[in-house]
Structure 1
């Protein structure tokens, strides 16, 4: 069966000339563009064959010269020998389509085609952001519509995905309610006791004077579920919630006792009291946020709890695509509920600079916008489908006041925000912004001021191409103005944190993915090597740069955070250059977010920790939430590091992640003995694992809804692993017993999130657009078997090929197979997930 889909991307349709005074050779609206995706693994390779078709639907002949079509794509190139429509990279993911030598003209009604190859694994790989530029008016981009036609047979992939989901879901067993921990993440110890406590507006809060802020927070939070908010009291002795100062097991630990007539939360610190309050909220029924109630009954119990890791982090990328302040605050509410204590803000990258820095207005005037401007002064070039005029996701930044407000909101919820200024690579937005500043001041005759914050060597002729396709995105560390720039940025960030009363111990300076070829033809680098004997070659520029950044941060009482490369250096191994451990910074308190555990680097995190670096486990195969949930073509998300559903972070074993790593980055099973010979974590290395982090990169995040879809429920698995004690299945040596223990724990976990946490998040903090899973299914002896990942969710189906609705028949047992069966999973609120078609 051929599954033909048609998706029309009406990015913006413009039928009128933008400038009457410029004579256009044809009306852009008469040009119809179709990009047909036809064949995956073309000629048994890794790329996908597409056909580009241009049709003249107007009455004017379209000439072969004088125009080009711009678009964003992962890396298309011409396939075949025709010279009809040519494809060239401009920079990054920004490409140009233009008439080749075989394109003479396009008369009214005529069409012309060319084949192209590119990487298209799922719907997020579609080409997008089409617009037209006339040679006579090169400063204007005219938005175009384009039709993306999907002509792929995805039946086998979809069948395999559904069968895999069915197998995974089959290990889930029914769980007794008493087996489910009363709060989430799982506490260290809990005991259910007899009796109950009724919460209403008449409850009084008695707090130690040190916990005034937390008492006010508790009152406000209960006011969101009760008709009246509880108030503070100094004298009440019954029907009370007590916030009590008391020595407990750790700085963030707490004790929670629910008794008839009294709730006592005890902790040594404000953070501990806060987490006790979050656990109290976790005891509330999941529908408590749906409508305010007069009275809520809680069962009595005793909880003693403390976090496993001191660093429980989520990374939000607002650089590639932007999220508004309201979404950040909403995220902070979610993270604090699940006891995360670090929000890593990826504020800058090649495609955007998202924070206002007083005194450097170009950073946001230029760097926070993506628009068509060949000079890249009005904004950086379009990427990720932002188009000629930009989108709400591609354009935007936080003012200093916005950021201060975010800091205050996070600090009140005991979340530290780590700002990331990505360097020396992934820095194109900063480089272009400072170029714009340079050009402005040079025109004003202020040469010294113009050069004050330049981020490049003006005479550098080095040639390189980054992973994302950029040829001009790396800062030059040999230029002294680079360090003036970063000291300026650092000072302004420190000032914001001070104004907000927010803690700042570190700034993340990136260090990720600097390509080969950089700095090799830079006169400034050659002069530095001549003058500084410690810099023996171009590769040593890396150490020189981070030594300077480290010294600057230390002078301000901060330590350096970065990606794993801050602890690495280039060396020749087996006749090829590669990154190896660099022991020189091991004693400098560098905190490295180690993401790369792909083939050949499976043990990199443990190598760095054993060497003395502070390591935050950020393993791509388990923690990258931007990776697609599965291999289905219709599932949004990245895939280069594998596929991540909620089970991947849940099954992660921080101190022995080899044990439960069962798939490679292609989603294929790893052979037995795959990790033999890999470096094991030493006792010292174990002490250097400071925590875990889960990033959500935003290349494909074009809305808050899409952000939340990829965030949830996956981030709940991260919350469990970051906070909860080490489960028994992680250390059990007997494989069969370990598997049995894991299956039971997994069943408990999915039952908790399916019946409690996700129903709570339907309304909590305004409600979240979490992903509802797709059905698993298989066929045996003419009978269809199907299941769902989350207990409490309903699986519904139709047998006439129609779209299932909340009123469709519920799947309760095997049914006779048919080509017309459609399955769809629904949550308790009646919202459905993605429909999947049964395939024999």
Structure 2
């Protein structure tokens, strides 16, 4: 018996060590979508034993993340698939499993809901846990996703009409874009309200001095620092003689900018306007460092269209470090955005230190293999078993957050923190559960229950959109509101310490699943004790009324996702959601995101604005930047709300979003009948539209490079629409004229982006990793014709089947050579997009 036990221990040790030394590999591939004619997919894991020892028949579990729900049960002889919570799944041997011989492989077929048509849909972060070492997970050193290439893999289902955006599709879309000489393009971006070019030029540099009225000292210092980067010499602050003057005056515009023989003059009524004048001046300067620059004489009068021009970044799903936040704020400031909505808590992470509640970041701010979740919450989005990973784990200290606030304030950007509730709150819930366990162990019941967010006797069964079973705060617990008060008070204190007082706070409200609180004793008791509550659904309104009181008592405006302003009711016997009349007159601001074209609620934005809510246009169809640019297996991002390229934020019409809606959520042409019977925006409702927000959710975003790829250049389309006045093509009623006007405006915008703004972004601030589009290409009359989305970028090609490089020939005319033609788009610094292959 002792010898057998020793052999088992040695066997386990050898295999655990083999895993550590890359002895076991795993791959995954999609077999087909629409499996068995249903909305599900079939895929295969292949586990290969590369060691010289047999892989054991028991004693292990493989964990992995997958955004598609996997049907539990036997998936291979002796292998059972299981679901832990959220997107965490398992593969585990049963007594029937025989192990894996040396050099052999095991294929495991799994069935999952919906479809997989993009590499970012694939499973991620697999790791193995040995039974004799249950607290430790080992990531697979080699995990490979095999690309999909067949129609049955790329189509969603049998009804899908198109699997991929082709080079010919791109060529056709690009074909209407004119190439406009750089000297004929608008000089300032986003487009100012009024721009007048005048006779004459002014030479700026190499000696630059700046004078500013006392109210604009900070702005003058900012400009001096930026000019030093351009001209390579420190710009001097001189209040007597200066070639750049910034003065304060009571004018109706946000700023005026004039350049004449006397120099450069920026006039503004306040510091914010002066700052925007500075950004317009920067728009006139070259992207690369220079000794001097000749500026055209101009007169500019400008003001933003919307007062609320926002970018929302999710740092919960995957964490983004403070240095990258600064880079985001810099590019926001360059394009005159003034609100940074920071989504700091969700199911997968709590990212802000709250004094007095260290568990929020000690547990909720870290992800790793701890199924009891007393040291970290479970892995998500491939973050793996290691608590020290830098995508799943991370948070901003109080000092970090204050520094972010101050950095934003210097750029006239308001930071709005978001604490997601009552759903999407699992990181907070599990943190407070761990706090409860710690204090109960210490015998301190009062402290254990002080901030608890869950009812231990709650037997309610539900599953959120992301498959969580326990991610909703219990709204009947007094401790829930004490927790919210504590968090709000600490955030208010941090903003005060930063000199950036908080006046609005985002309190979530997104995607609370059906079934919550139904079997919670405290929730049901609350309904019995409160005459205004008739059923479980009414707890939602009870909760947000309490939240509003907490927020308003502190002098803050309440801000939330659209669901926070909705109410369930019955229509023709069916449950429907309507604008909640109880909150419409309480200065309640909403982000309205659900405008999936063809989804049925395209008019929700206007219904809520017409009902009195302050509305920020945040629709997924145009402004969710985590959506993939195009329908392409290799294009990163989600696509449940459609595909979002740079044109979609540009062609969005805020007060008539139906007019330029061109395709549905699947990328198919949108029938005009889609909008029949939909509510239109009233004049009253129009006054309630406060602005536009672009959002970048981070499920698929793990690195700064990935963040900047999805952010840019899409953000430029949003910046133009949020700042510039209503364009002529949006107001033109005759369709043919409107189309012609739009095409002309798009050509101008595309040239500005390609010839001015991308070179600026490539050279400035260390260079931004914006997306470079793929080339459009067709074969006509025996020749390959190619074009590019953004004129100014160049196409290089090869005719020998090799990959194009930065030294390959530049495409200037149709290619007559026969064979395999490969094309790739390059920018001004030699970065490139993906290769397009055409057979001629």
Q: TM tier, shorter chain?
A: over 0.9
Q: Do structure 1's residue 462 and structure 2's residue 460 form an aligned pair?
A: yes
Counterpart position of 1:117: 111
1:515 corresponds, among 498, 513, 516, to 513
Of stretches 129-138 and 694-703 in structure 1, the one that deviates more from structure 2 is 129-138
Counterpart position of 1:9: none
Counterpart position of 2:127: 131
CA displacement, residues 698-748 of structure 1 (integer Å, 9 cap, x when unaligned): 001110000000000000000000000100000101111101100000000
**1:126 to partner: Cα distance:** 1.9
CA displacement, residues 616-654 of structure 1 (integer Å, 9 cap, x when unaligned): 000100000010000010100110000000000000000
- The separation in 1 between residues aligned to 2:446 and 2:418, in whole angstroms, is 29
Instruction: Tell me if the contact between 1:161 and 1:630 (Cα under 8 Å) persists in the aligned partners.
Output: no
2:62 corresponds, among 52, 66, 69, to 69
Instruction: Tell me if the contact between 1:616 and 1:692 (Cα under 8 Å) persists in the aligned partners.
Output: yes
2:80 corresponds, among 78, 86, 90, to 86
State how 1:417-816 maps to structure 2 within 5 Å.
417-598=415-596, 599-816=599-816
Counterpart position of 2:376: 379
Cα RMSD of the aligned pairs, angstroms, is: 2.0
Instruction: Tell me if the contact between 1:71 and 1:95 (Cα under 8 Å) persists in the aligned partners.
Output: yes
Of stretches 41-50 and 494-503 in structure 1, the one that deviates more from structure 2 is 41-50
**1:610 to partner: Cα distance:** 0.2
Instruction: Tell me if the contact between 1:84 and 1:113 (Cα under 8 Å) persists in the aligned partners.
Output: no
Q: Do structure 1's residue 249 and structure 2's residue 252 form an aligned pair?
A: yes
What secondary structure sits across from 1:710 in the alignment? helix
Instruction: Tell me if the contact between 1:407 and 1:497 (Cα under 8 Å) persists in the aligned partners.
Output: yes
Counterpart position of 1:16: none
- The separation in 2 between residues aligned to 1:159 and 1:817, in whole angstroms, is 26
- The separation in 2 between residues aligned to 1:85 and 1:823, in whole angstroms, is 46
Q: Sort the Cα spacing of 1:447 and 1:819 in 2 relative to 1 into closer, same or farther, 3 A.
A: farther
Counterpart position of 2:170: 165
Instruction: Tell me if the contact between 2:421 and 2:509 (Cα under 8 Å) persists in the aligned partners.
Output: yes
CA displacement, residues 465-504 of structure 1 (integer Å, 9 cap, x when unaligned): 0001110111011000000001000010001000100131
Counterpart position of 1:142: 138
- The separation in 2 between residues aligned to 1:523 and 1:730, in whole angstroms, is 54
**1:297 to partner: Cα distance:** 2.0
Instruction: Tell me if the contact between 2:74 and 2:81 (Cα under 8 Å) persists in the aligned partners.
Output: no
1:50 corresponds, among 38, 43, 48, to 43
Q: Do structure 1's residue 205 and structure 2's residue 210 form an aligned pair?
A: yes
Q: Do structure 1's residue 260 and structure 2's residue 280 form an aligned pair?
A: no
Of stretches 533-542 and 642-651 in structure 1, the one that deviates more from structure 2 is 533-542
Of stretches 173-182 and 441-450 in structure 1, the one that deviates more from structure 2 is 173-182
CA displacement, residues 158-186 of structure 1 (integer Å, 9 cap, x when unaligned): 77432221111111013244542211000
Q: Sort the Cα spacing of 1:25 and 1:828 in 2 relative to 1 into closer, same or farther, 3 A.
A: closer
**TM-score calculated relative to the size of structure 1:** 0.94
Q: Do structure 1's residue 37 and structure 2's residue 35 form an aligned pair?
A: no
What secondary structure sits across from 2:146 in the alignment? strand
- The separation in 2 between residues aligned to 1:220 and 1:438, in whole angstroms, is 50
Counterpart position of 1:336: 333
CA displacement, residues 83-127 of structure 1 (integer Å, 9 cap, x when unaligned): 443221111111101125652333334333232233311111121
Instruction: Tell me if the contact between 2:63 and 2:88 (Cα under 8 Å) persists in the aligned partners.
Output: yes
Counterpart position of 1:393: 391
Q: Sort the Cα spacing of 1:81 and 1:269 in 2 relative to 1 into closer, same or farther, 3 A.
A: closer
Instruction: Tell me if the contact between 1:78 and 1:114 (Cα under 8 Å) persists in the aligned partners.
Output: no
CA displacement, residues 374-432 of structure 1 (integer Å, 9 cap, x when unaligned): 21121100010101104212111100000000100101110000000001011110001
- The separation in 1 between residues aligned to 2:232 and 2:811, in whole angstroms, is 39
Counterpart position of 1:220: 225
Counterpart position of 1:275: 276
- The separation in 1 between residues aligned to 2:558 and 2:206, in whole angstroms, is 47
What secondary structure sits across from 1:74 in the alignment? coil
Q: Sort the Cα spacing of 1:311 and 1:750 in 2 relative to 1 into closer, same or farther, 3 A.
A: same
Instruction: Tell me if the contact between 2:461 and 2:515 (Cα under 8 Å) persists in the aligned partners.
Output: yes
**1:770 to partner: Cα distance:** 0.4
Instruction: Tell me if the contact between 1:798 and 1:809 (Cα under 8 Å) persists in the aligned partners.
Output: yes
Counterpart position of 1:7: none
Instruction: Tell me if the contact between 2:799 and 2:817 (Cα under 8 Å) persists in the aligned partners.
Output: no
CA displacement, residues 158-215 of structure 1 (integer Å, 9 cap, x when unaligned): 7743222111111101324454221100000101112222222533222111111111
Q: Sort the Cα spacing of 1:344 and 1:231 in 2 relative to 1 into closer, same or farther, 3 A.
A: same
Counterpart position of 2:823: 823
- The separation in 1 between residues aligned to 2:28 and 2:93, in whole angstroms, is 16
- The separation in 1 between residues aligned to 2:54 and 2:119, in whole angstroms, is 34
Instruction: Tell me if the contact between 1:79 and 1:117 (Cα under 8 Å) persists in the aligned partners.
Output: no
- The separation in 1 between residues aligned to 2:759 and 2:372, in whole angstroms, is 50
- The separation in 2 between residues aligned to 1:816 and 1:44, in whole angstroms, is 45
CA displacement, residues 14-46 of structure 1 (integer Å, 9 cap, x when unaligned): xxxxx9998576643443322222334445544
**1:62 to partner: Cα distance:** 2.9
What secondary structure sits across from 1:654 in the alignment? coil
What secondary structure sits across from 1:388 in the alignment? coil
Instruction: Tell me if the contact between 2:777 and 2:786 (Cα under 8 Å) persists in the aligned partners.
Output: yes
What secondary structure sits across from 1:510 in the alignment? coil
- The separation in 1 between residues aligned to 2:562 and 2:148, in whole angstroms, is 41
Counterpart position of 1:98: 92
CA displacement, residues 746-769 of structure 1 (integer Å, 9 cap, x when unaligned): 000010010000100012122100
What secondary structure sits across from 2:29 in the alignment? strand
Matched residue count: 814
Counterpart position of 1:414: 412
**1:574 to partner: Cα distance:** 4.3
Of stretches 747-756 and 48-57 in structure 1, the one that deviates more from structure 2 is 48-57
- The separation in 2 between residues aligned to 1:91 and 1:152, in whole angstroms, is 31
Instruction: Tell me if the contact between 1:779 and 1:817 (Cα under 8 Å) persists in the aligned partners.
Output: no
Of stretches 55-64 and 417-426 in structure 1, the one that deviates more from structure 2 is 55-64
- The separation in 1 between residues aligned to 2:228 and 2:103, in whole angstroms, is 65
Counterpart position of 2:299: 302
What secondary structure sits across from 1:331 in the alignment? helix
Instruction: Tell me if the contact between 2:73 and 2:82 (Cα under 8 Å) persists in the aligned partners.
Output: no
- The separation in 1 between residues aligned to 2:224 and 2:10, in whole angstroms, is 62
Instruction: Tell me if the contact between 2:796 and 2:811 (Cα under 8 Å) persists in the aligned partners.
Output: yes
**1:829 to partner: Cα distance:** 1.1
Counterpart position of 2:343: 346
Instruction: Tell me if the contact between 1:83 and 1:101 (Cα under 8 Å) persists in the aligned partners.
Output: no
The answer for unaligned runs of 5 or more in structure 1 is 1-18
Instruction: Tell me if the contact between 2:76 and 2:107 (Cα under 8 Å) persists in the aligned partners.
Output: no
CA displacement, residues 770-804 of structure 1 (integer Å, 9 cap, x when unaligned): 00000112223433221101111111111222111
- The separation in 1 between residues aligned to 2:693 and 2:71, in whole angstroms, is 36
Q: Sort the Cα spacing of 1:84 and 1:563 in 2 relative to 1 into closer, same or farther, 3 A.
A: same
Instruction: Tell me if the contact between 1:314 and 1:693 (Cα under 8 Å) persists in the aligned partners.
Output: yes
